[in-house]
Structure 1
């Protein structure tokens, strides 16, 4: 009689353990959650892919401020890009609309030739040399010649879908067309040119690549938007 009662007690205890195990398994299945997604393009070094270009020879430096065309006409539309509030970048850093816009003090701009002769394009690289992240908005505002005081027009299809946020030491790129490569073009030699960033009136002097500089036809020159990497199709012009 005592043996039967003891067995009943053991079975009841075993049933309780099985029930608790099933309950724990169900709780684990129901508690699974998905990770948040990123809504901003974050360029971090060395993760950003470099474009196919020659050795960069140009450096940028502050040469003062100006009120010329680079800070007026085209900056309004390009500078309106803002990072989505509360989004998380690829590096785990919090990215929001409060992330400061990159200025000439934050980045170093260099120029390199792209492809082989005739050199019809160059690539500008803007590297974040500050110790903090910043948003690089719009496109570079370029003036090649003193005799041609208009910014080089931007190609709309090269505009990235999301804001470009540069972490410390991260680069961004912009493809720039100089000419069509024809012999009958009105090309002019350029050894250095000016670049301005969206939201900053500081003029940066950039040395043209190559020992002989570059040949520019102001009527054919175009620039792309700043992007973390050059993209086939969107940056072909």
Structure 2
């Protein structure tokens, strides 16, 4: 009986130990399973986070692409604007060219391109005359600066100075048949011993580099002109005489 009880006790102890071992193994497996589940969960969570970040990055990329698209749109707009600007420039160029034909590109008028006449101003005694230059050529030309007047032989005549305030803002371009004017003071106070009577005189024109070749012979108004070269002055060529600027 005592031997049998001891065997029973040993058997019970062995079973308990085995149960503990199995429990421990089961606990370890469960823990491992839990750990694995946690790792998978963490991986899934990390993957989800990565996907979210990737998604955000994708959104950023999409935004960047959209931004790039916007930039592209802007660039296209700029190109269109540039084209518009180019169009404007072209338009401006055309206008400029039209004005250029009139301002910067029309050749300088030569002596053979214009007819110059002189008329006395409405005053007594006569101190001023008005010169009128009419383009008699078949194309536009630029009347540069002012008339170079010689009240006597060209080689010895005194140069008649120009009045700066009468200078126009832009060159005077004459279309065929169009006139330009210059006010000229020929004397002060009427006839006296310093005056000389002039029946005709010479008007030279400017070229781009200076006085042009040749001159226009201008007939003095009826009765001739009493000219005092010391007092004489000329205005610039203008489209029309302007009160103030052309009064001297």
Report the equivalent of 1:220.
Answer: 231
Higher helix share: 2
TM-superposed deviation, 1:153: 0.7
Report the equivalent of 1:123.
Answer: 130
Gaps of 5+ in 1: 1-30, 40-84
Which whole-Å deviations, capped at 9, do the CAs of 1:37-56 have from their partners, x for residues lacking one? xx9xxxxxxxxxxxxxxxxx
Which whole-Å deviations, capped at 9, do the CAs of 1:151-197 have from their partners, x for residues lacking one? 21110110001111101100000001011124555111000111100
Report the equivalent of 1:159.
Answer: 167
CA distance in 1, matches of 2:224, 2:114: 23
CA distance in 2, matches of 1:171, 1:204: 15
Report the equivalent of 1:47.
Answer: none
Say which SS state the counterpart of residue 123 (structure 1) adopts.
strand
TM-superposed deviation, 1:96: 5.1
Which whole-Å deviations, capped at 9, do the CAs of 1:24-79 have from their partners, x for residues lacking one? xxxxxxx9xxx99xx9xxxxxxxxxxxxxxxxxxxxxxxxxxxxxxxxxxxxxxxx
Report the equivalent of 2:114.
Answer: 107
Contact 1:148–1:218 at 8 Å: present in 2 too?
A: no
Higher alpha-carbon Rg: 2
Report the equivalent of 2:96.
Answer: 86
From the superposition, tell whether residues 117 and 148 of structure 1 become closer, same or farther in structure 2 (CA, over 3 Å). Answer: farther
TM-score when normalising by structure 2: 0.57
TM-score when normalising by structure 1: 0.59
Report the equivalent of 2:4.
Answer: none
The root-mean-square deviation of aligned C-alpha atoms, in Å, is 2.5
Runs of 4+ aligned structure 1 residues displaced above 3 Å come to 93-96, 182-185
Q: Does 1:233 align with 2:240?
A: no
From the superposition, tell whether residues 236 and 190 of structure 1 become closer, same or farther in structure 2 (CA, over 3 Å). Answer: same
From the superposition, tell whether residues 96 and 163 of structure 1 become closer, same or farther in structure 2 (CA, over 3 Å). Answer: closer
From the superposition, tell whether residues 187 and 98 of structure 1 become closer, same or farther in structure 2 (CA, over 3 Å). Answer: same
TM-superposed deviation, 1:145: 2.2
What pairs with 1:12-161 in structure 2 (closer than 5 Å)? Answer: 86-89=96-99, 94-95=101-102, 97-146=104-153, 149-161=157-169
Report the equivalent of 2:189.
Answer: 181
> Relative CO higher for 1 or 2, CA cutoff 8 Å, sep ≥ 6?
1
TM-superposed deviation, 1:88: 3.5
TM-superposed deviation, 1:150: 2.1
CA distance in 2, matches of 1:204, 1:226: 15
Higher strand share: 1
